[in-house]
Amino acid sequence: MLLEAIYHHPKRNWAFGYDDATLYLRLRAKKNDLTAVHALTGDKYDWDRTRQLIPMSKFATDGRFDYYQCTVKPTHRRLKYGFLLEDEEEQLWMNENDFTTQEPQNADGLFQYPFLNPIDILKPPAWVKDAVFYQIFPERFANGDPSISPEGAETWGDTPRTDNFFGGDLQGIIDHLDHLNELGINALYMTPVFKATTNHKYDTEDYMEVDPHFGDKETLKKLVAACHDRGIRVLFDAVFNHSGRTFKPFVDVLEKGEASLYKDWFHVHSFPLEVVDDTPTYDTFGLEPMMPKLNTEHPEVKKYLLKVAKYWIDEIGIDGWRLDVADEVDHAFWREFRTTVKQANPDAYILGEMWNESSEWLQGDQFDATMNYPFTYAVNDFFVKKESDAQSFAFAIGRQLARYPQQASEVAFNLLDSHDTPRLLTLCGDDKRLMRLAALFQFTYMGAPCIYYGDEIGLDGDADPGCRKCMEWDPDKQDRELFDFYRELIALRKEHSALRAAGSLTFLEAEPEGASLAYERRSEEEMLLVLFNRSGKSHVFELDIPEQDWELAFGESQWSAGAKGFRAELPAYGYAVLKATPRARVE
């Protein structure tokens, strides 16, 4: 037993409240080192009567470690606990400070979870567990009102550049909500709609106004109401890390320098505000002079931005916020932001833009979820770029699941591409077989999947500006077969709770140097088996699983199941989702 590899911490993703009555406990150990793990639990004031020894199951694994977990419902909402660790040769008890061969006789020296305070528990909105998001870049989705298009707007469908406009607007989105309904979308994420100078609108000029080239507040209200009537939630995008160069307080600092009343709204190193050796004399997003960083520690800045957060929920009825460059804003601001937003709408979804591990923001006091780019990298490396094998992919997913509280994984924003990356089809080298495989994993994994506008009809495009091309509305130029694939995939996810938050995930085949993948999704109501073959030749699965009858829920496969195990064959780039069915009784 390698004790140096065993790890637990009595907070964060290792010991956390899931709801007001349930606590999760987790433990890490060297891969394949332990044969059994139990949690010894009880109340410190009532140890003898509440003592329990609870089996822990292995819920994830990666290249170095196994991760075990169990759930506990403490009698009095507080818990003292330790762990019983076993391998083939010995058993040890783990307390807060050491390992011992003797079982603890009382709660002294054990780990402690002091109390399940409801306010401390991460409680994401329940609706996100069942959400299928669709991301729209408004300037490129549809032009519904040419009268408000920017001067010099180019012909719809011409080549996108970083500085050109095509006249996409809010009315254009309203006009095409049938497209979202036909697809099965129930959540819409729009990049910023506030007044700004660029086509992407991440350089906010006025946080309280709709960009006039997109429409006005009445049109925005009409859009949100129309979405709600169709069962579609609406997520706005806000940039509180930085403003645009034309934001009035920044303009005032540009004009008045140190005499400006707003000089402390920004992080100014020296006056005048200028660029020296390609570096602004004030903090910015990146080194972009037109995006000055806001001082979110300043009381007046906080007051203004929190008013913005509340205003659009109260006045327009949005269902949450996606927050740009969220990891560069101080944690104290986000804590106040969460309080403000949840008071305005307790069911609002707070989503932070993160490109790396983000557990610090998912402790119940800041975000509900983050944009799950580590998931994106893992899926693209295996299914799309073919740079990793099946085992490495399964390890990456296991590591990801172990990083976060369970409820954070259940509502993670799982994307395969966005306005900040090349499009999925382009990443796949225009091979729609690979695209389908990646999308199938995305939609059979826990979290909220997101489709970037146009992916469903075969829109391609390299990195910005290529990934921000105009949506194709000519049916003859749309890939309707691909659209039907996405529509059926969304329907599959909605039909089976085991494919969403309710289902556990167990990999059944993920071999080193392998290109095939098999895993089980299981809930209390059902069990599904998901099979992938990423290789260019057929593959036979032989899985050691209990005898069970199956029916095909999605894809194609030939299979047999009996006392000797499960056997299935998939063609090159094939996939299948099988659902376990009750066995027929033999009279």
Active site residues: 324, 353
d(Cα 451, Cα 508) in Å, to the nearest integer? Answer: 28
* Distance between CA atoms of residues 339 and 295, nearest Å: 19
In angstroms, the CA 242 to CA 290 distance is: 9
In angstroms, what CA-CA distances link 222 with 215, 216, 218, 241?
11, 10, 6, 29
Residue type at 456 in one-letter notation: E
CA 341 from centroid of its chain's CA atoms? 19
Count how many Cα atoms sit within 13 Å of the Cα of residue 177 in the half-sphere of its side chain.
20
DSSP secondary structure string for all residues of 251-281: HHHHHHGGG-TTGGGB-BSSSS--EETTEES
Distance CA 454, CA 437 (A): 17
**Is 391 in a helix, a strand, or coil?**
helix
What SS3 class is residue 434? Answer: helix
Judging by DSSP bridges, how do beta strands 448-452 and 413-415 pair with one another?
parallel
Burial string for 482-495 (b: 16+ CB within 10 Å, else e) reads: bbebbbebbebbee
- Give the Cβ contact number of residue 2 at 10 Å: 11
Rounded-to-integer distance, Cα 329 and Cα 327, Å: 6
210 in helix, strand or coil? Answer: strand
Sorted by sequence, the CB contacts under 8 Å of residue 339 that are 6+ apart come out as none
